[in-house]
Amino acid sequence: MDYIKEANQYIMKTYNRQSVVLDRGEGVYLYDVNNKKYLDFSSGIGVFALGYHNEAYNDALKAQIDKLLHTSNLYYSVPAIEAAKKVVEGTKLSKVFFTNSGTEAIEGALKVAKKYAYKKDASKDYEVIAMYHSFHGRSQGALAVTGNEKYQEGFVPKAARAVFANYNDLEDVKSKLSDKTCGIICEVVQGEGGIYPAKKEFLEGLRKLCDERDLVLIFDEVQCGMGRTGTMFAYEQYGVKPDVVALAKGLGCGVPVGAFVASEKFDSVLVPGDHGTTYGGNPFATCAVSKVFDLFKELNILDHVKEVGAYLEEKLEELVKKYDFLVERRGLGLMQGVEFDQKVPVGDVVNQCLEKGVIFISAGNNTLRFLPPLVIEKAHVDEMVSILDSVLSEK
């Protein structure tokens, strides 16, 4: 059967998909319908943190399927309550709202900022300061704060877009403040923009600005959260706590679920009728969240990421030194990027590695992105580097 031909007949072409039909996964490997094996260094864009076919995870979801999948948020469910407790305790914030995706988590976080300002003075048309080269999602609100015009054109009028400042440039953020500013949003590590970690003084400066002006500080940890950088949330490494954090991807490890979590000062800003979701926080999704937190603890994921992440950094630095067309390595933990100069298109490298059995994705300005499952071992790093090195040696 020609699966790709059939897919192109029925599925909207909004992705430039690779000509691979994936069929199953085991550990950190994926297999296509022809049984070709691939080492996965993208984990479904940072989603499958626990790898494929984790038996304890699968068994928890199977058991929940047999009990209850959905109730709506007009009722309570035990998995949602258990998951909420673990998310709140993990973030060290106060209240959580479960969504279906990272984009929806961003939408909710923005609503917190705007409603908080509206309650103080309903006469103003409030705006948010966001960062250039950021990515926060594809819906209207998330696109409005995404600092890349190619995603916005045709969808978000210029008048509806956020005010943008340069990432890691506190003085530029200060210059964009006005009496309309209600909040500031940024990724702690920019993902789609090319894997750029925030500077400590930048996040500290944002926190101070928001405290002084009573603004809402929103951190987007959809990609860099849930252990990806070696701490459960990347902001923990900076000693800077947000007012609201947006989560998804590794939060459910494959089940579509996101969340935004607010500190105590802001946890009652949204009242009944202000926000909602039919599917968000259903028993199945929150069962996944709850089990993910349990397994992170049982498997000692954070210490593992620190160890293997340091090894990955070391091996990538060796490649950067070896090839003059590699500009630099950037990242934290198991969220890494290697930038190529313009003479070597990173897309070609992605395709050639795929042919040799390693799955990568790109980011930003010609950057190869490394987002493996958090359970990879040093041997998997060596396997990946050997194949990547073989491709780079032909450039």
How many structural domains compose the chain?
A: 2
Judge if 112 and 221 occupy the same domain. Answer: yes
Judge if 47 and 110 occupy the same domain. Answer: no
Establish if 73 belongs to a structural domain. Answer: yes
Q: Give the CATH number of the domain where residue 313 resides.
A: 3.90.1150.10
Last residue of a domain, one of 298, 318, 349: 298
Calculate the average pLDDT of the chain. Answer: 96
Judge if 290 and 180 occupy the same domain. Answer: yes
Establish if 60 belongs to a structural domain. Answer: no
pTM value is: 0.97
Judge if 172 and 318 occupy the same domain. Answer: no
Q: What is the pLDDT of residues 318-345, one digit of tens each?
A: 999 999 999 999 999 999 999 999 999 9
Q: Give the CATH number of the domain where residue 211 resides.
A: 3.40.640.10
Q: What is the pLDDT of residues 190-237, one digit of tens each?
A: 999 999 999 999 999 999 999 999 999 999 999 999 999 999 999 999
Establish if 47 belongs to a structural domain. Answer: yes
Last residue of a domain, one of 267, 298, 329: 298
Judge if 233 and 326 occupy the same domain. Answer: no
Establish if 345 belongs to a structural domain. Answer: yes
Judge if 73 and 43 occupy the same domain. Answer: no
Establish if 24 belongs to a structural domain. Answer: yes
Judge if 9 and 93 occupy the same domain. Answer: no
The residue among 208, 213, 205 whose CA lies nearest residue 126 is: 213
Q: Where are the alpha helices (DSSP H) in the chain?
A: 3-10, 43-46, 55-67, 78-91, 102-120, 140-144, 149-152, 170-176, 200-213, 283-298, 301-322, 346-355, 378-392
Judge if 293 and 304 occupy the same domain. Answer: no
Print the domain residue range for 48: 3-54+300-392
The residue count for the chain: 395
Q: What is the pLDDT of residues 356-381, one digit of tens each?
A: 999 999 999 899 999 999 999 999 99
